[in-house]
Structure 1
Amino acid sequence: MKVAIGGPLKVAFRPWVEGLENIPDEGAAILASNHLSFSDSFFLPAILDRKVTFIAKAEYFTTPGVKGRLTAAFFKGVGQLPVDRSGARGAGEAAIKSGIEVLERGELFGIYPEGTRSPDGRLYRGKPGGLARVALATGAPVIPVAMIDTEKIQPPGKVMPKLMRPGIRIGKPLDFSRYQGMEHDRFVLRAVTDEVMYEIMKLSGQEYVDMYATAAKRQIADAAKAAKDAEKAEKKQV
């Protein structure tokens, strides 16, 4: 399935890549990437010879019917791993557990430290609970990755992608072994996450925003709602 999907993606979009030599030929490693588009999880695996596993909502794998089965087969084929978001702590703990299992098998684990797609193309503050905890619990190196222009290919809400060349920059592996055994220290988790985000920022050239993307999305939604309410009120006065 990876060959069947990856081949056409490379032919159709011709992604350019820098730093491919930073991906190890074998052994565990964490690929920490910015997140601009739904398609990020497809372009990165497409250009790698090794399998990389990302996490995805369990709903993608459990939807009934023919469409649901096809969707599940597609996500499994491109290396997506279902994560059940139910339970007391939800997807966070499930993602950490899944990531550790992938790395303990000596494989590549992909993660988006921002936790969600950027709402406006800028780089947002990384969440320390996932990436840093997995890295410190396993000792796996963290490889920063920058996706370039993928938000222009498939903006949020758009189903059909635009044919254009995205870019992928892969940085040098980061070693956090000096913090081994400190995965429950919140200051260490913050320091590790910030170091990774700084490297992603240098690779991507994105403007950095020191707030979480989820908070930014709420602000944008609230502003849009306020503007819509103001427009309605103005029409009533006319």
Structure 2
Amino acid sequence: MTNFWYYLFKYVLMGPALRLMGRPRIEGLENLPEDGPVLLASNHLAVVDSFYLPLMVPRRIFFLAKSEYFTGTGVKGRFQRWFFSASGQIPIDRSGANAAAGALTAGKRVLESGGLLCLYPEGTRSPDGRLYKGKTGLARLALETGVPVIPVAMIGTDRINPPGTVLPRPTRITVKIGEPLDFSRYEGMSGNRFIERAVTDEIMYALMAMTGQQYVDVYAASLKEKPAETA
């Protein structure tokens, strides 16, 4: 039933409006295997990244989402839980010491079932359109499972609904699927933080080359936390 709702959203309930609003196009689709487990590593400019990427890719895509999306109460909470489940989101608890382990386990389940999993190595949306330092969780998952890692560039999604606007603004969105990255030389080195950082940096370099974004060697989340710390 979940598959039914996923494709109903994609082709009937949301797809036509998304296409009208973003006039999306995709490049490099031939780089994506038609079946088998794959890790997609994407830059993250806006919430709609998680809608336009599935819209343009024939295979079903799974994402890891914060568990708060699935714990609401009342009619709104039930609708939100159903909506995120139907759209391919998998809940993970991002709080506490076991957050990384929980995400890793959830990701492994998708890949072990032959699924297509997309992660945002920046960990959160870019606050200003630049590309920020990647977290190493994706690298650890790639090294532990040995599945292909394919970089994905989302371009233009930040212009649809920029901060301070209410109504969406029609624009042109491009989804670029890059060639698979080869990390076989690091086989058996999962858990080595220096290797995981090297793999992560290679992924971020590929994204920088594909998107044309300026790279910033700090975590995006640290910038979002500064106003609260100052206050």
Q: Do the two structures share a fold, i.e. TM-score over 0.5?
A: yes
CA–CA distance in structure 2, aligned partners of residues 73 and 187 of structure 1: 40
User: Aligned pair 1:3/2:7, yes or no?
Assistant: yes
Corresponding residue for residue 35 of structure 1: 44
Deviation at 1:84, TM superposition (A): 2.1
User: Aligned pair 1:145/2:152, yes or no?
Assistant: yes
Corresponding residue for residue 63 of structure 1: 72
CA–CA distance in structure 1, aligned partners of residues 19 and 8 of structure 2: 11
Cα distance per residue 1:17-56 (max 9 Å; x no partner): 1111111100111000000001111110111111111011
Deviation at 1:155, TM superposition (A): 2.6
Deviation at 1:10, TM superposition (A): 2.8
Deviation at 1:72, TM superposition (A): 1.4
Instruction: Say which of 184, 189, 195 aligns to 2:202.
Output: 195
Compared CA separation, residues 175 and 54, structure 1 to 2 (3 A): same
Aligned residue identity for 2:80 = T
Corresponding residue for residue 103 of structure 2: 95
Q: SS of the residue aligned with 1:169?
A: strand
Corresponding residue for residue 166 of structure 1: 173
User: Aligned pair 1:113/2:121, yes or no?
Assistant: yes
Q: SS of the residue aligned with 1:53?
A: strand
Compared CA separation, residues 159 and 75, structure 1 to 2 (3 A): farther
Could you state the TM-score of these two structures normalised by the residue count of structure 2?
Answer: 0.90
Deviation at 1:115, TM superposition (A): 0.6
Aligned residue identity for 1:45 = P
Corresponding residue for residue 75 of structure 1: 84
Corresponding residue for residue 175 of structure 1: 182
Aligned residue identity for 2:146 = G
Deviation at 1:131, TM superposition (A): 0.5
Runs (4+) off by over 3 Å: 156-160
Compared CA separation, residues 42 and 85, structure 1 to 2 (3 A): same
User: Aligned pair 1:216/2:223, yes or no?
Assistant: yes
Computing the radius of gyration from Cα coordinates, the structure with the larger value is 1
Q: SS of the residue aligned with 1:178?
A: helix
**Does the Cα contact within 8 Å between 1:145 and 1:200 map onto a contact in 2?**
yes
Corresponding residue for residue 104 of structure 1: 112
Deviation at 1:163, TM superposition (A): 2.4
CA–CA distance in structure 2, aligned partners of residues 212 and 62 of structure 1: 27
Structure 1: unaligned runs, 5 residues or longer = 227-238
**Does the Cα contact within 8 Å between 1:38 and 1:156 map onto a contact in 2?**
no
CA–CA distance in structure 2, aligned partners of residues 162 and 77 of structure 1: 26
Cα distance per residue 1:130-175 (max 9 Å; x no partner): 1001000100111001111111112357564322221111100112
Corresponding residue for residue 132 of structure 2: 124
Q: What percent of counterpart residues are identical?
A: 55
**Does the Cα contact within 8 Å between 1:145 and 1:171 map onto a contact in 2?**
yes
Deviation at 1:12, TM superposition (A): 4.0
Deviation at 1:104, TM superposition (A): 0.8
Aligned-residue CA RMSD in angstroms? 1.8
**Does the Cα contact within 8 Å between 1:5 and 1:46 map onto a contact in 2?**
no
Q: SS of the residue aligned with 1:54?
A: strand
Could you state the TM-score of these two structures normalised by the residue count of structure 1?
Answer: 0.87
Aligned residue identity for 2:34 = D
Corresponding residue for residue 50 of structure 1: 59
CA–CA distance in structure 2, aligned partners of residues 156 and 97 of structure 1: 34
Aligned residue identity for 1:142 = V
Aligned residue identity for 2:175 = I
CA–CA distance in structure 2, aligned partners of residues 44 and 18 of structure 1: 12
User: Aligned pair 1:21/2:25, yes or no?
Assistant: no
